Amino acid sequence: MRTSSFAAAALACLAALTACQVPVAKAAEAPAATPMSMGSDTRAAQPTGAGEAMFRSLQKLVGRWQAMLPNNKPIVDTFQTFGAGTYLLHEEWVDGKQITSSVFYMVGSQLWVDHYCDYLNQPRYVAKPFADPSVIDLEFRGATNLDAHPRHFHSTIWHLIDATHMTQDWDVRGGPKGEVHVHLDFTRTGPSA
């Protein structure tokens, strides 16, 4: 089977990056790459443990949710899976404008979250095991851009009450008012858009 010059060059680059000694001639003889399946692939490694249980609970949030902010404006949260169900995208909207996005995903047996914030930084969290399976406790594990924009969501606890109700408690740090706690009561308002 003939290999494209791109595949041969990619193999040679990979070998160089990993300090492998693969002669270019051997790379050119390598078999062609297997085509990528665009269907749902259930062969992906399935994580196990508390992180997996929390991730499955969060996947049940797929749809549209609404709560009132402290300033009496509605905030709309949307949730949708992507990547064959291996990621969960969470977006927050106020006045029809997207203000934040978060991506939930598994790293080994841990649930991780990357949050792209309207405070112009990117906090990252890891879920801590919690005795109550309806509680998702996200602990700060680092952030980018905190030097320039120190106000950030430091941690959050979500309580998944039932199929139509959840609460979110956010701790904000680094702002002019010091530590601030924000509590939101969400109600499901429909399927995701």
Q: Where are the alpha helices (DSSP H) in 18-112?
A: 24-28, 50-59
From the list 76, 82, 93, 39, the residue with the least C-alpha distance to 59 is 82
By CB neighbour count within 10 A (0-12 exposed, 13-18 middle, 19+ buried), where does 162 fall? exposed
Rounded CA separation 61/98 (Å):
18
Residue 162 has a pLDDT of 95
pLDDT tens for each residue of the chain, 193 residues long = 343 333 333 333 333 333 433 333 433 343 343 343 444 443 344 445 889 999 999 999 999 999 999 999 999 999 999 999 999 999 999 999 999 999 999 999 999 999 999 999 999 999 999 889 899 999 999 999 999 999 999 999 999 999 999 999 999 999 999 999 999 999 999 985 5
Structure tokens at 105: 């995903």
CA distances from 168 to 91, 134, 155 (A): 14, 12, 10
Residue 176 has a pLDDT of 93
How many other CB atoms are found less than 10 A from the CB of residue 92? 21
Which residues 6+ apart lie within 8 Å of 66 measured at CB?
A: 74, 75, 76, 77, 186, 187, 189
How many other CB atoms are found less than 10 A from the CB of residue 7? 16
68 and 41 in contact (C-beta within 8 Å)? no
The DSSP symbol for 120 reads S
Identify the structural domains of the chain with CATH numbers, from first to last: 1-34 (no CATH), 50-190 (2.40.128.20)
Rounded CA separation 168/179 (Å):
16
172 and 154 in contact (C-beta within 8 Å)? yes
pTM of the complete model: 0.74
Residue 49 has a pLDDT of 85
| Continuous segment of H or E residues that includes residue 187 | strand 178-190
pLDDT tens per residue, range 69-115: 999 999 999 999 999 999 999 999 999 999 999 999 999 999 999 99
